Structures are given as structure tokens and as C-alpha cells.
Structure 1
């Protein structure tokens, strides 16, 4: 079916690749599927450019990487599950609640660096994202490689966080964001539905994940999610909080040089490794809407747990966002 058009995501860097023009037919070819998966395992992220901008293509691309996992919250809007199973719909209307000022910009839909489902003991393998409504400026999605973060962080901080495990809880109240919080950060309103999410998740046990973990291929990954972090296991003290804040600030600082920010086109779709890569959202002018759709690829790296030994109970997760 022809050779794939594969290019670096960032010239001179090993993180990420671009694949241009993959077709719906090619997604069914075992040889293509094997090549794409190998590229994903090696590079951690793929941007698919010039693809058919359809839900069918979104599902077909997702299927290359494994079975899809439904989002744990029943409150998250879904696309037609018969036609596009596993696709969630994330829409921010124009002038929606949730405006904030960050570093001198008043925006909506800003999110700090994080990995998905940190509040769960199991981490999904990946997410596949596409844009439906794109604001005329802003609305970028950022990605930073945990392997590069580990290699570039200061040796002193790396030594202090190397064997720590971080506590996470579902917390979508942006005023509660603590670790690595920008100096210029003002919340003007919380998103609609925030209170209901917090009420539903208040009795869910905290999740625990290692701050650093080692891939089967030997690379160490810094995998700290500043968003939804609550502290360091066994060290919820001013000293422990200061360490987690310093690590989170290091993530934000290093990301200024290491991150890739994707400016969306309707013909783009992308996948990132949720066990390795942190992502963020730049935010955009509140006058404009932004609508994204995402699938979640099933899997787990096997290193997370719930505090107190709680089991992975789907009924617990269904009460969360």
C-alpha cells in the first residue's frame, strides 16, 4: 500500500514523529499497523497530518494501537457510540465559565502539565486527539517527553525525587492547583459542573504513582503531574510539599525549551504515550469556542495503586470526572 511518509516531530530530537497522509485503508494493513506501533513505542508521540477529518478515521487510527477504553465518568459527553465507540466530546463554548488570568493572559481552557487519569491506579496507554472547532489563536496542546525531563532536570532534584511516590486526587477546582502554580494566576470563575464532579469524587481514595519509573528499554522517565498532585507519599509535610513544588516548577521551566506545542488543523490527529509524556493546554481567548474529541487506548504500566490498598473498582471510578 505504499511507504509511510515519516518525518521528525522536531528536527534533531528523538521525541515524536509526523506521519503525513495515512489513509483509512492503510490503517487496516498489518504491516502499516506494525510500523506505526513501532514508531510510537520508540518516539512516544505521533502527529498524523493530512488525514481524513472524520470520526471513522479517528476510530480507525485509535484501533491501530489497541482496544479503546471508555472514559470512567458517565458525565463526560460521548459522540454517537454506535458509529464511533469510545469517542468523548470536550467542548468549551464561547464566553464559558472557567476564565482565568495566567501570565498576563485572560483565557479559558488553560490546563497545566499533567498525565491523564493520575487519580486512578491504572493509567491508560495513550490518548488520540482531534480538533473539531479551533479558535483563531491559542488553543494549542502542548507535550513534553518525560525521558528528556529526567535527563535535563537538576541532579540535586533528581536525586531527591528519584524514589518518591506522588499522591493524586481528582480535583478539577482550578483554584486548588498548588504545585508549580504560576506567580500570575487568578481564577475568575470555575468551569460549569465543577461542584458536581467534586461532590461525586469526594470519597474516592487517592492514587499513588512513582515520580520516576524505568521503561523496559532502560530509559528513566520523570512522570510527575503537577495538576491533581496532593503531596509525596509518607512526606506530606512543608518540606515534602516544597520538594514537590520545586520538581513541578522544574517541569514548567524545562518545558519552555523541551515542549512541543501543536497548532491544530482539521486534518490533524495525534497520539501520545500517557505513561511517558505530559501534556497541557495553552488556553485561548474566551470570545471563541473550542471543541476537541478524544479516544482513550486501554492499558496499564502496572506501577500505580490506590491509597490504603483499595481495589480498582469501576463503581468508584464512575463517580469521578
Structure 2
């Protein structure tokens, strides 16, 4: 086994690493797989640089981390499932209908800080993402570590939110996003597919996840998703909403210093820990297209549940970026 070429994601910080030049044969080496998984568990995110830009490599890399989870909706475009099972295809063509005004600019494909599957009782282990078509500017994917967020959250908010559970529901109507929304946030035009997503999810019960949880290694994680949040379990009051909004706003504020924003290259692939890390999308100028492909790694941290003990077999659409 060749020695892995490992570097920090950001100099001087423990969150995230880079691994350069991993090859497809490397992904089948048990020693490489064990080492990469140990690094992922410790650091929460890996950017693989200078890898073969192919769907086959995407699948091989994903398989290092566990079985893949298929997307819950058959309507979501897939890559050839015979040769690249589990790979979904997310294409934004130039001048799409969905537009957001935020931070003084008009963009498409902007998404606030969130973790995936917040609206489900189970949380997938991770996502593996790569870029096919990259806008000449922006179109970045951002990541922020929940361990660092917990450590930097103000003591007052930390004391008030710890031990609380947050209610989530699938809600892709961007006009409805409000917890922690930037002051100039405005949805100019909804994505035309949003109504279909909402219709598919209408009978699904709300999911509940702890605002703070503790890893087996002892670190506490602030794991609040401002997007999709509906309130605090047992405290859907103006006071409870104000607390959730204050925590969400502090997440946005802390992320200015703590976040890592990935500027894509075709030879990049990356994985993040969905139980620990929040992610966001910067958006980009509507005149440009953007195409991403993604796999989802199966798993569950075991702390989520549906409200009032409900269960659901509904298949709901998921937006993944």
C-alpha cells in the first residue's frame, strides 16, 4: 500500500482533511479503506483531490464508507444504474425559474445551512459529491463542523438549547424559510418542482432530532438545521421560536469564521459526516448552469423519531446538492 497523501483541509484546524491522488485500485485495498474510514470518523470531512473524474470512481470511492442508499423518489434523475448504481444527477440549466435574493445579489440554487434527511427519523451517514458542470464563479458548497459550532455557541444559548429536540418537516417552499434567514433574504421565484415535492410529503409526520448530541468519542455536536425546522418539540410558542431563531442566527454568524467553502474542480470528490456537519450552497448567477452528482451512504445515528410515535412508509422527495 502506498502511503496516503494527507493534508489538512484548513491549516491549523482539525476539521476536515484532503487526500490527494487516490486511485480506483486503492479503493479496494482493505488497509486503505480502514485508514480512510478512521480519518473520516476523526475529521468529519474529506476532500479527495486529483481523482479520476468518472462515475465509476464515484461509486468505488463511496463504497469505501458503506452501502449506498438509493434516493427515495424514482422521479429524481439517475445516472445509468447498471454501471453506476446509487448515483443521482442534479442539473441546473441556465436561467432556471427558481431565484433567491440574498446578501445583495440575485442567485439560483442557494440553500441555507442544513443536514440531510432532517425530515426523516433516520439520518443517512454521509454524502459523496462531485461536480460535472461548474459555473465560472460561485456555485460553492459550504461545510461547518457541529463540534466547533457547539464549542463556539454563546454559553447562554448553549445552556438553553441543550436537551431540547427540534421538529422538522419536508418544506422546499423557499418563501417559508425563516429560522436564521439573512436580513435581506427574499424568495423571488419558487422552483417549479416545489409543489410536487410538497404534495408528495403532505402526509408524512414531522421528524424530531436532538439539537445537541454526544458522539461515542465524547464530543458534543450542535446539530440544528435552520432549513426544514418548524419549532422546538413541546415549545411551539413565540418564546420557543425565538430561541430556535437565535440559535439559527448564531449558526449563520459563526459560520462566517468556521465554515469551509469548496471551490469545485472536475477532479474533486468529497464526503461529509451528515451526523456532525451542516452544509449549504452559495448559489450562483442564473445565467450559468451547474451539474452535480451525488451518492448517499446508508446509516443512522439512532436518535431521531417521528412525532408522537408515528411511523411513515411515504416516499418523499429529497433535495440534495
TM-score bucket of the superposed structures, by smaller chain: over 0.9
Is 2:272 aligned against 1:268? no
1:96 paired residue number: 96
TM superposition shift of 1:72: 1.4
Is 2:316 aligned against 1:319? yes
Deviation by residue 1:122-159 (Cα, 9 ceiling, x = unmatched)? 00000000000000000000000000000000000000
1:255 paired residue number: 255
Deviation by residue 1:96-122 (Cα, 9 ceiling, x = unmatched)? 011111010100000000000100000
Deviation by residue 1:261-291 (Cα, 9 ceiling, x = unmatched)? 0000000000000000000000000000001
2:136 & 2:317 partners in 1: Cα distance?
32
Is 2:212 aligned against 1:212? yes
TM superposition shift of 1:200: 1.3
After superposition, residues 1-321 of structure 1 pair within 5 angstroms as: 1-311=1-311, 313=312, 315-316=313-314, 318-321=315-318
1:308 & 1:72 partners in 2: Cα distance?
23
Report the TM-score, using the length of structure 2 for normalisation: 0.98
2:185 & 2:11 partners in 1: Cα distance?
33
- Helix, strand or coil for the counterpart of 2:63? helix
- Helix, strand or coil for the counterpart of 1:90? strand
- Helix, strand or coil for the counterpart of 2:247? helix
- Name the count of aligned residue pairs: 318
TM superposition shift of 1:75: 2.1
2:79 & 2:181 partners in 1: Cα distance?
33
1:26 & 1:226 partners in 2: Cα distance?
38
- Helix, strand or coil for the counterpart of 1:188? strand
- Helix, strand or coil for the counterpart of 2:230? strand
1:26 & 1:124 partners in 2: Cα distance?
25
1:19 & 1:152 partners in 2: Cα distance?
28
RMSD: 0.7
- Helix, strand or coil for the counterpart of 1:221? strand
1:319 & 1:19 partners in 2: Cα distance?
35
Q: Where does structure 1 lack aligned partners over 5 or more consecutive residues?
A: none
Q: Where does structure 2 lack aligned partners over 5 or more consecutive residues?
A: none
